[in-house]
Amino acid sequence: MSAVIVVHGGARAVPDELAKASVDGVKVAARDGFAVLKRGGSALDAVEAAVRTMEDNSVFNAGHGAVLNADGEVELDAIIMDGRTLSSGAVSSVENIANPVSLARAVMEKTDHVILTSRGANQFAESIGVSTVPTDSLVTEFERKEWEKCKTFVTGVKEEINTQWAHDTVGAVAVDCVGNVACATSTGGIRNKMAGRVGDAPIIGCGGFADNFSGAVSCTGHGESILKVTLARLILFHVEQGKSVAESSQLALQYMVDRVHGAGGCIVVSPSGQWTATFTTKRMAWAAVDRDGLWYGLEPNERFNEQLTV
């Protein structure tokens, strides 16, 4: 079967000055992830590679480019999940880690646990030799200025108020040539969040879920709303009822709007290679690679295609 990867750079009102960089960034990440699949790598390897690319790109709120909490600190969350075995690893509120998605994978593969948080996650990183970076290196000058402007918590994506100042999650889903699916999601959270706040991103079934029997999902948007409706799992519930990944995504996102007034987005891929990128926010940068080339978009109902060069 043909391998597929889909990535997103966060569902929000992406400001015009970041629009091109956001689209360019997800296109690079999709190419990087697909390069792994093309040489026979697993879906798990592909989503990790794609998310690492976005964590290294300061235009996104994950790793480098992370937003600051109310105390002016960086707290990073990430999850990764293998649809073949339902194995999952996650970290929350970690500091000084440039690529939390890889630390999440280490939790999955090197511990008996699913999620480690804060000091314990950082201690685990040190115990396995994961290199740390100065926290200052993860924060852009732009973010420091915006944090100074906006020191009171705003719900941002939930209310679609002041979303030009909001940042959001990155994620990837993939199916490899043998039909295994995987997902990964990573974020710095919401600017001016309370210290210790954990959103949907590292929570299994909310920020992401992967199961070879139904598909893989990575979610983005207002974390508290996503948590309340367990969005990733809800999408796959609809898939399991026989609906397409596109219809399943639309139904679940609309339910979140109707039930808890939360906006967001998602990317989904099925074991057969069917995929979608759907959102109820003003914009979401996304990109996908399938047998027909590279697809990408930013605005609602927008889908461009170009020849893939990897």
CB 194 within 8 A of CB 173: no
Mean pLDDT of the chain: 91
Whether 206 is covered by a domain: the verdict is yes
d(CA 121, CA 138): 18
User: What pLDDT shows up at residue 159?
Assistant: 42
Confidence of residue 155 (pLDDT cuts 50, 70, 90): very low
Q: Which residue, 122, 308, 111, 83, is CA-closest to 212? A: 83
Residue written as token pair 């003003």: 282
pLDDT of 84 higher than 80: yes
Whether 114 is covered by a domain: the verdict is yes
Neighbours of 250 (CB within 10 A): 18
Kindly report the CATH number assigned to the domain that includes residue 203. 3.60.20.30
Q: Which of 53, 169, 220, 281 is catalytic?
A: 169
User: What is the edge-to-edge ordering of all strands in the sheet holding 215-221?
Assistant: 208-211, 215-221, 264-269, 275-279
Q: Tell me the angle at which helices 245-260 and 231-240 cross, rounded to the nearest 10 degrees.
A: 130
User: What pLDDT shows up at residue 67?
Assistant: 85
Whether 165 is covered by a domain: the verdict is yes
Whether 174 is covered by a domain: the verdict is yes
User: What pLDDT shows up at residue 308?
Assistant: 80
Count H helices and E strands in the chain, helices first: 8, 13
Whether 158 is covered by a domain: the verdict is yes
Q: What total number of domains does the chain contain?
A: 1
Whether 310 is covered by a domain: the verdict is no
Kindly state the average pLDDT of the residues 201-211: 98
Q: Which residues contact 172 (CB under 8 A, 6 or more apart)?
A: 5, 6, 7, 8, 29, 33, 46, 47, 50, 51, 183, 184, 218, 267
- What percent of the chain is predicted at pLDDT more than 70? 92
Q: What is the pLDDT of residues 88-135, one digit of tens each?
A: 999 999 988 999 999 999 999 999 999 999 999 999 999 999 988 877
The structure's pTM equals: 0.93
Query: Range of 45's domain?
Result: 4-305
Whether 290 is covered by a domain: the verdict is yes
pLDDT of 166 higher than 70: no
Residue 140 a catalytic site member = no
